Structures are given as structure tokens and as C-alpha cells.
Amino acid sequence: MTATVGTPDQPLRVAIVGSGPSGMYAVAALLAEPGLQVTVDLFDRLPAPFGLVRYGVAPDHQKIKNVNRVFEKTASDPRVRFFGNVQLGRDVSREELRQHYHQVVYAVGAQADRALGIPGEDLEGSVSSTEFVAWYNCHPDFADHQFELRHEEVAVVGIGNVAMDCARVLARRAEDLATTDIGDHALELLRGSGIRKIWVLARRGPVQAKCSPPELKELAELEGVQVVVEASELALDPGSEAELKEDRSAEKNLEILRELAQVPPDPSKIQIRFRFLVSPVEIVGREGKVAALRLERNRLQPDGRGGLSAVGTGEREELPVTMVIRAVGYKSLPLVDLPYDKRGGVIPNELGRVLGADGAPLPGEYVVGWVKRGPTGLIGTNKGDSIETVQAMIADLRATSPLPAAAADAGAIPALLASRGVRPVGWEEWRRLDAREMERGKALGRPRVKFLRLQEMLGELDPALASAPAAE
């Protein structure tokens, strides 16, 4: 390597904001780069690392969470430091990171949900999958959220894997969930659930369904639950027939759905009823709460880009639901003063290089994951995405200037945080919290019992912090 930065005399210093899958894959790619001398500081606003794996993966999908073992090995490398409970813009500024690191990578994911944009969306009982999933997974931001689950009928708008997760958690027996790491607060509420019918609504047809065949099959195999499908809604238009020939997953989904459509409804079971070619047009309220969901029937037509779009027919119907969960996608939010593409919901970039207002790359600033490409793909999709960004970072080293000795000093950032009264949670401290959660779960035959609140976590590390005011 010919660059001055990244050598033993001037090791590359990288800050990664966000310790979810995309951030962890970026760390691994940097550590694996041949001949590169590098140190990486991981910043996360929560004391717990791994983002979506901890707070997004459904509690009954423990095997997916095994990827944490790979991330733990990466984070334990002596070239890596973890600064949990440190928030960009509150505890440390973008400019300060730029001063103390040669390169900064933003791996903050997609923190918000997409709205339906229909009347009544702000009624009590209309919620996003973002908050519902984070709530049952013990995300501290959602510890005090309240959900009314004594409804008989609920609608889940969307047909991706997140929608499948929401429907499955609502339908699954509480005793089955009691062997997972679902939050105790959520488990208690689900035990008293009155839900008997869950509508899963798709604006397009079965061929365009975004859920994976394994997720669909798992839903159909739940004990005490029946997935009900209207055979008439599985008829395909010519455009869908053409798409089906190119998509093995869609073909498998349709095969499963057609099998389910042949089974008569069993009213003794909780029913998950799939509806295709319908769009919500209004959430009907009564006394400020959801009382029904008004739908419009759709038809499919070519969108001019090689796909099919849903167009309303004017035919309306109502579902008597008293809770609506929207699961129609995520979007990233603006991050401090970084450029932001409002339409795409991402930070503008080229191969991971952050682009300024003039379209030119901003030296030393990069993105990975959903904030880079949008909320698409599975956890593993982030690996190739992060490697692409890291390769751009390596290519840019030739034009990267060395840092002044004081700025590059390993103690500079800890000293800066200490001067502001910020209490970072280090990697070994997180391992203590992790061990404690698993210890609490072991006694109950569960993988872990998570800490729910930020103050709980900090108090476990230092009792004096348990009564300290929570950061805004």
C-alpha cells in the first residue's frame, strides 16, 4: 500500500455511527483488508449493539439472531472500540468526528415508517409496524407505548416479511412466545388478547407479494391458526402471469396460497385472512379510536417501467377492525446536517460516498445499509453493500491527509465525552449486560430476558445511574 494513511506510522482511524448489521459488516471488511493498519470506533445511541438483529428480528426467529455470534467476534477484535449510549448530534457532533477520524461511516438504518397517507391515520389504534415490532422487542424508545389487544379484528396493511411477523406474533399462542426473548410487558398483554381475526391486506396481487415462502409457510403452520385465502383473488392477469415465470419465490408463494384457498374456514381457529388487490382509503373513527377500515378494490395495469401498479376501481368495502398496523415500508430520517434525499429517504451517495449539494463526494464521509440504498433486502444483503462502501474508502486513502497527533490520539474522544458528562457503555460492559440478560432467561427456560429501559441497563452497570434522569 502506497498511501500514508493506513500504515503503521499513521493507522487509518474510522468512526462508524450505528452498530447494526451494516455497520458490523463494514467493521469486518475493514479488519479483513490485507495490509491495512486500522482502528475502528463504533458509536451507538443505545447501550446494546446490533440494531435490527436485537430490536427488529421477531422473538420466535432465534436462529436468525445467531448472526450476532459473528458480530461479537468482530467487535471483540482489539482494533475495535464500542461507545454505546453515545448519540450523534447530542453527545458528539459530526464535525468533531471529522476532526478525530480520517473517515466516518453512517450506518443508522431506517428509523421511521412510511405512512399510508389516508384520513384517520392518526386515530388511536392506528399504529406502525416500526413501533409495534420495537415494542415487543424491548426497544427502550417504545417501553411506554400502549397497545389495546382486546380487539376481535385487526388489520395489517402490507404483505412483506415485517407484516408476516406482526400477524404471526398477534396470532401465536402466548405459551409458545413465552419460550422466546419477547418482552415480558408484551407477553403479558398478548396473554389477554381477544384477537380472533387478522386481515393481511395487499394492494397488488399474490405474485407481487414481498413475503418470503418460508415466512408464509410458517404462518400457515401455526397451531390453532388458519390462514384463509379467497380463491377468486388468486386469479392472475396477463402481466402477473409473465412476472411469475421470472420469479421462483412468487411461484412458491402462489403454490402455498392456492393450497390454503382449498381449505374451508374453521371458525374455531384464529383466522389470518389474506386479501389481495385492495387499498386502504380511510380509517374510520369513533370517539377518537379506530372503528373500521375502508378499502377500495384495485386492478393491475402496466406501470410503464416493466412492472404492474395498482389502480383503484371505485368499488368500496369496510372491515370492522379496531386496530390497524401499517407495514408498508421504512424510511431513513435526516441525520444531523448531512445531505438528505427526502424523496428517496436516504443520504445521497455514490458507491457509499456521501454526495454534497453539488453532487460531488464529501471527503471522508460514507454510508452503508438502508440509509445508503433504502430499506430493501435481508440482513445478509448488508454484507455486500458494506464491502462496496469499504472498497470506496480504501480507494480514497490515496487522497486522505494524515490527522494531527492530538486529533488522532486514542484518548481524545473518551476525554471529550467525559468533559460533557456523557457515560459511554464499552464493549466489556455490554458483555456484562448480555450475560445478565441470558442469566435471567435461563431460570425461565428462555434465551434471555431483555432489559427494557435505558436506566435499567445503566443501573445494572452502576447503581448510581439508575436514578439519573434519562437523556432526551
CATH number of the domain encompassing residue 148: 3.50.50.60
Contact indicator for 425, 47 with CB cutoff of 8 Å: yes
C-alpha cell read off for 55: 430490536
Mean pLDDT of 378-400: 95
Phi and psi torsions of 215, nearest 5°: -65, -45
Q: Is the pLDDT of residue 306 over 70?
A: yes
Task: Kindly state the helix (H) or strand (E) to which residue 167 belongs, with its residue range.
Answer: helix 161-171
Mean pLDDT of 389-409: 96
Contact indicator for 328, 116 with CB cutoff of 8 Å: yes
- Here the CATH number for the domain that contains residue 64 is 3.40.50.720
Among candidate residues 145, 143, 163, the one with its CA nearest the CA of residue 154:
163
The reply to whether 451 falls in a domain is no
Q: Which residues contact 224 (CB under 8 A, 6 or more apart)?
A: 173, 269, 270
Co-location of 182 and 304 in the same domain: yes
Mean pLDDT of 80-95: 97
Angle between helices 21-32 and 381-395 in degrees, nearest 10: 50
Co-location of 206 and 312 in the same domain: yes
Phi and psi torsions of 366, nearest 5°: -140, 165
Among candidate residues 310, 163, 317, 156, the one with its CA nearest the CA of residue 240:
310
Contact indicator for 89, 50 with CB cutoff of 8 Å: no
**CA distances in angstroms from 377 to 87, 252, 340, 380, listed in the order given:** 26, 19, 21, 8
pLDDT of residue 2: 46
CA 431, CA 435: separation in Å to the nearest integer?
6
Query: Which has the minimum average pLDDT: 35-39, 287-291, 301-305?
Result: 301-305
Q: Which domain holds residue 90?
A: 12-111+332-425
What would the pLDDT profile of 15-36 be if each residue is shown by its tens digit?
Answer: 999 999 999 999 999 999 999 9
CA 183, CA 56: separation in Å to the nearest integer?
13
- For residue 128, list its beta bridge partners: 326
pLDDT of residue 330: 83
- With a pLDDT cut of 70, the percent of the chain lying above it is 98
Among candidate residues 98, 129, 105, 101, the one with its CA nearest the CA of residue 44:
105
CA 304, CA 312: separation in Å to the nearest integer?
17
Co-location of 262 and 410 in the same domain: no
Co-location of 132 and 246 in the same domain: yes
Co-location of 139 and 240 in the same domain: yes
- For residue 274, list its beta bridge partners: 200, 229
Q: Could you tell me the strand order of the sheet in which 197-201 lies? A: 126-128, 324-326, 153-157, 197-201, 270-275, 225-229
- Predicted confidence band of residue 304 (pLDDT cuts 50, 70, 90): confident
3-state helix, strand, coil in the chain (%, to 5): 35, 25, 40
C-alpha cell read off for 64: 436468525
Co-location of 319 and 365 in the same domain: no
Mean pLDDT of all residues in the chain? 94
Torsion angle of C-alpha atoms 458, 462, 463, 464, degrees rounded to 10: -90
The reply to whether 102 falls in a domain is yes
CA 213, CA 249: separation in Å to the nearest integer?
6
What would the pLDDT profile of 35-79 be if each residue is shown by its tens digit?
Answer: 999 999 999 999 999 999 999 999 999 999 999 999 999 999 999
Number of domains in the chain: 2
- Predicted confidence band of residue 467 (pLDDT cuts 50, 70, 90): low
Co-location of 101 and 144 in the same domain: no
Q: Of 265, 297, 329, at which residue does a domain stop?
A: 329
Co-location of 398 and 310 in the same domain: no
**CA distances in angstroms from 280 to 112, 203, 260, 309, listed in the order given:** 20, 8, 24, 15
Co-location of 175 and 301 in the same domain: yes
Phi and psi torsions of 436, nearest 5°: -70, -40
CA 105, CA 337: separation in Å to the nearest integer?
15
Co-location of 101 and 131 in the same domain: no
Contact indicator for 102, 109 with CB cutoff of 8 Å: no
- For residue 367, list its beta bridge partners: 106
- For residue 425, list its beta bridge partners: 84
Co-location of 192 and 288 in the same domain: yes
Q: Of 278, 310, 329, at which residue does a domain stop?
A: 329
Q: Is the pLDDT of residue 367 over 60?
A: yes
C-alpha cell read off for 136: 415487543
CA 29, CA 390: separation in Å to the nearest integer?
7
Q: Which residue has the cell 381477544?
A: 194
Mean pLDDT of 309-318: 96
Mean pLDDT of 385-391: 97
Q: What distance separates the 2 farthest-apart alpha carbons in the chain?
A: 74
Q: Tell how strand 308-319 and strand 289-302 pair up.
A: antiparallel
What would the pLDDT profile of 172-220 be if each residue is shown by its tens digit?
Answer: 999 999 999 999 999 999 999 999 999 999 999 999 999 999 999 999 9
The reply to whether 458 falls in a domain is no
The reply to whether 218 falls in a domain is yes
Q: Is the pLDDT of residue 430 over 60?
A: yes
